[in-house]
Amino acid sequence: MLTVEKLNAFYGKKQVLFGVDLTLRDRSIAAVIGPNGAGKSTVLRSIFGLVRERQGRITFDGRDVSHLSPVHNIAAGLAFVPQGARVFRELTVQENLRMGGYTLPSAVLAQRRESALQAFPVLSERRTQKAGALSGGERQMLAFAMALMLRPRLLLIDEPSIGLAPKLVTQIFDTISAIREELGTSVLIVEQQAQQVLRVADTVFVIRAGELISHGPVENYRGEDVLRQVYLSNRTSQVN
C-alpha cells in the first residue's frame, strides 16, 4: 500500500537520506531499525511531509503523495506519532484527543474520543488532567490515541520506546500489535531497540548512515548474531 522510491532528504545543506526504498503491504507492520543517527526518523518525517526538502517518489494506495503537506497526508489516510511521546502538554487529555481528531465532524469526534478512552483506560482515568502531568508511558499512549482518532490506514510511529522503562516498552509494542489486529491499520515504525520491535513486525528495513543496507521478512533478523552484525559491525554486511 505504501511504496517509497529513491528517497533523498536534506536538513539544509546536510543530506540525511540517500536513495531509500521501502514497500509496505496492507495490514502489515514494518520496522525501520538501525543505530542512532542513521536517519530513521527522517524517513518517517519525509513520508509524512514534515521534511520539506525531499526528493523521490512516495505512493500511497496507488496515489502519488510525494509532495503532500501533513494536512493533506492526513486526509489521504496517514497519521504520524512523533518521537518523544509528544503531546500538547498544556492541554488536558481530553483536549489532546480532540485535537488529534481536529479534522473530524464533531459527532464522529465525540464518539471516537469515547472509544479511545475506553481503549486506553489509563487515559480515561486522567481525562481532565494536563497531558504534561502524565507519565512517559501514559503520554505515549495518548500520542497513539490521538493519532488513532483519525482512523488512519497507515500509522507512522517514531521511536515509541524512547525514555521508557522496559516493561512499558513491551506494553507499548503490544498496543501497536493490537492496533493492527483490531483496526486493520498498517504500521511503519522506526525503532532503535530492535528486539522489541521485531516481536511485532512482519518486515524489517535496516538503515545506516542514511542508506538502506538490508531488508527482508522479520524471521531473517531474529538471531542475536544478525542484530549484532547490523548494529555493531562494519557497514557492508548483508543479511538476506
Partner 1 sequence: MSTSPSSNSPLLVLEDLSKSFGGLRAVHELSFSVQAGSITSLIGGNGAGKTTVFNLITGNLGADSGHILFRGRRIDGLPPHKIARAGIARSFQDLRLFSRLSALDNVAAAIPQQRGESLLASLLGGARLKAANRENEARARGLLEQLTLAGHEESLAEQLSYGQQKLLGLGRLLATEGELLLLDEPTAGLSPGMVEDFCGRIRRLVDAGKTILLIEHNVEIVMRLSDWVVVMHQGEKIAEGVPEEVRHNVSVMHTYLGISS
Partner 2 sequence: MSVLSQFVFNGIVAGSVYALIALGFALIFTASRVFHFAHGGVYTVSAFAGYTVMVTLGLGLAAGFATAALVAALMGVGINMVLYEPMKAGNVSPFVAMISSFGVLIILTNLTAIVWGSNPTVLSPGGSATIYRLGPIYTTGPQLQIIVFTVVLALLLWVFFRFVRLGIAIRAMGSDAELAEVVGMPSRRLRHISFIVGSGLVGISSLLIGLNVGIIDFNMGFDIMLMATVAMIIGGLGNVGAAAAGGFVLGVVQNVAIWKIESKWQLAISFGILILMLLFRPSGLFGERGPAA
The residues binding partner 2 (CB under 8 A) are 48, 50, 70-71, 74-75, 80, 82, 86-91, 95, 98-100, 102-103, 106, 146, 150
From 37, 121, 184, 217, residue interacting with partner 1 (rule: CB under 8 A): 37
Q: Is residue 113 within 8 Å of residue 97, measured between CB atoms?
A: yes
Q: Is residue 196 within 8 Å of residue 173, measured between CB atoms?
A: yes
Least gap, CB of 161 to partner 1 (angstroms): 7
3-state secondary structure of 215: strand
Q: Name the one residue in this structure whose C-alpha cell is 524471521.
A: 219
From 13, 107, 167, 238, residue interacting with partner 1 (rule: CB under 8 A): 13
- 20 phi and psi angles, rounded to 5 deg: -80, 135
85 binds, among partner 2, partner 1, none (CB under 5 to 8 A by kind): none
3-state secondary structure of 165: coil
91 binds, among partner 1, partner 2, none (CB under 5 to 8 A by kind): partner 2
Least gap, CB of 110 to partner 2 (angstroms): 11
Alpha carbon dihedral 77, 111, 146, 176, in 10-degree steps, equals -80
CA dist 213 and 232 (Å) reads: 14
Beta bridge partners of 3: 23, 59
Sites for partner 1 among residues 125-184 (CB under 8 A): 159, 161-163, 166, 169
Q: What x-and-dash track marks residues 190-209 binding partner 1 by CB under 8 A?
A: --xxxxxx-----------x
Least gap, CB of 172 to partner 2 (angstroms): 19
Grid coordinates given for 125: 482515568
Positions in the binding site for partner 1 (CB under 8 A): 12-16, 35-38, 159, 161-163, 166, 169, 192-197, 209-210, 224, 227-228, 231-235
